[in-house]
Amino acid sequence: MQSSALPLGHAAEKESIESFNDLNSKKTHSLLFICNGHGEDVIVAEIIKRFLKKIKNKNIEVLPLVGNGDVFDTIQSKNFRKIGFLKELPSGGFSNQSLKGFLLDLFAGFLIDNLRNFLIVKQKSKHYYKIIAVGDFLPLFFAWSSECEFSFLGTPKSDHTWNSGPGWSLSDLYHKLKGSEWDPWEIFLMASPRCKDLIMRDKITANNLKRKNIHAKYLGNPMMDFVNETNKKKSNIIAFKRIILLIGSRYPEAFKNLDNFLDCLQDFNLANDLIILLPLSINANEIKIHSYLNKYGFIKQSKVRFFIDEDSVWKNKAKYILIGKGKFNLWANMANVGLSNAGTATEQIAGLGIPSLSLPGSGPQFTKSFAKRQSRLLGGSVLVCKDKSILLKNLSLLLREKVYRLKQAKIGKKRMGKSGASKKIVDSININLLS
């Protein structure tokens, strides 16, 4: 990436990841996916894989508006390409969680890079593109501005966040006044005659939009398509109490989350035999992770294995920590309880029936406001803890009381829905946008 001070125009065009050269000569509809979040990237990657299998002759491009879109590097096809000006932002994404995060992103060149990406999208109507936007306002606005026909998957917003719980904050009152978490300007874009397919993440949000004469639908939650519901290797650790530790994928914030959780766990002595599963993102600095484990008295074990594809095993008295890069999908279903300061991963374990506890830090991503919103989104299957003592009390309760744990699990499963939505979404887009 070049400095954001570079001018637009020829230099910028040269730096961007180019589209297919022969699009002008083909009057077939090429597809452009636009997404603006790490969870959205995962959803889009799965949908793209299905399209590549289903429609062999289509050119498919993806424009991630947040981060480098590393998840798309695993897709190997001559008909697929990642485009645009891609950059990891200081906040981990275009931050609306704090003024500090917003300013850091602004100085990192967010606006200039997205203007460049906007100009790329504006050219797509000349080349017979159809657009699938996934996320919230920004990808929706890009798709609407392109003059192309488009579909929209509204993944991050849910009316569960204000329709349940106390509901006395200014934001809750604002959403109740609107009748939806989606804002009037977003609803205006959804009402465009060029929006051929509008898919929401849950039934309550789709129904509230229908009351506003917006033809939204609910086909299930695609986030549940990327985690294994069962795992035979779970039998290797079934005798232990099992916690999955989700620290997030955005560093250095993830290190702070790990430090806070390990500080809590050093005073946790309920279970004689406790396994803590620590799945790490691919970009995690393992040496730094190891330094935190050493800080809290965990020692690497060279002769102990649990055979669940762990990279390493660490022990402190009766507590074991198992580390595995890229092992979340494999390990998610193995835990009794989660300690989670994460976004999409928290929702996924809730959907698997694993209740969790969060301990919000200073952010910039996982703040108190984000955690409270997430808790209400998931119906309380993730509990926000104000401090260490409250977290340990709730952790003890969840591990000890199976009936209470199953009650929380039922709520999470209901809120997230079953797997299989990705296929339904692809079929819907084929019928409504591409036919």
Q: Tell me the C-alpha distance between 49 and 305, whole Å.
A: 35
pLDDT tens figures, 380-391: 899 999 999 999
Q: C-alpha angle with apex 86: 85 to 87, nearest 5 degrees?
A: 125
Q: Is 426 a residue whose pLDDT tops 70?
A: yes
Q: Tell me the C-alpha distance between 370 and 95, whole Å.
A: 11
Q: Return the residue matching tokens 């599963």.
A: 277
Q: What is the DSSP letter of 316?
A: E
Q: What is the DSSP letter of 17?
A: B
> Do residues 221 and 175 touch, judged by C-beta distance below 8 A?
no
pLDDT tens figures, 240-282: 999 999 998 888 889 999 999 999 999 888 767 899 999 998 8
* Residue of 147, 89, 47, 77 whose CA lies nearest to 364: 89
pTM of this prediction exceeds 0.75: yes
> Do residues 213 and 247 touch, judged by C-beta distance below 8 A?
no
Q: Tell me the C-alpha distance between 55 and 50, whole Å.
A: 9
pLDDT of residue 219: 95
> Do residues 338 and 243 touch, judged by C-beta distance below 8 A?
yes
Three-state secondary-structure class, residue 9: coil
pLDDT of residue 197: 96
Q: Is 399 a residue whose pLDDT tops 50?
A: yes
Give the distance from CA 333 to its chain's centroid. Answer: 18
Q: Is 119 a residue whose pLDDT tops 70?
A: yes
What's the per-residue H, E or C state across 153-207?
EECCCCCHHHHCCCCCCHHHHHHHHHCCCCCHHHHHHHCCCCEEEEEECCHHHHH
pLDDT of residue 83: 95
Q: What percent of the chain has pLDDT over 90?
A: 62
pLDDT of residue 250: 82
Q: Is 92 a residue whose pLDDT tops 70?
A: no
Q: What percent of the chain has pLDDT over 70?
A: 86
Q: Is 144 a residue whose pLDDT tops 60?
A: yes
Give the distance from CA 344 to its chain's centroid. Answer: 4
pLDDT of residue 265: 93
The rounded radius of gyration (Å) of the Cα atoms in the chain is 22
Q: Tell me the C-alpha distance between 382 and 385, whole Å.
A: 10
Give the distance from CA 162 to its chain's centroid. Answer: 20
pLDDT of residue 102: 65
Pairing of strands 312-316, 319-325: antiparallel
* Residue of 268, 365, 276, 280 whose CA lies nearest to 315: 276
- DSSP-assigned beta bridge partners for residue 80: 60
Mean pLDDT for 107-135 is: 89
Q: How far is CA 159 from CA 168, 179, 188, 207, 353, in A?
A: 15, 9, 18, 10, 21
- Dihedral class, residue 69 (left if φ above 0, else alpha if ψ from -120 to 50, else beta): left
Q: Tell me the C-alpha distance between 412 and 332, whole Å.
A: 14
pLDDT of residue 11: 41
pLDDT tens figures, 2-25: 333 333 343 443 344 433 333 333
Q: Is 435 a residue whose pLDDT tops 90?
A: no
Which two three-digit tokens encode residue 289? 């992770």
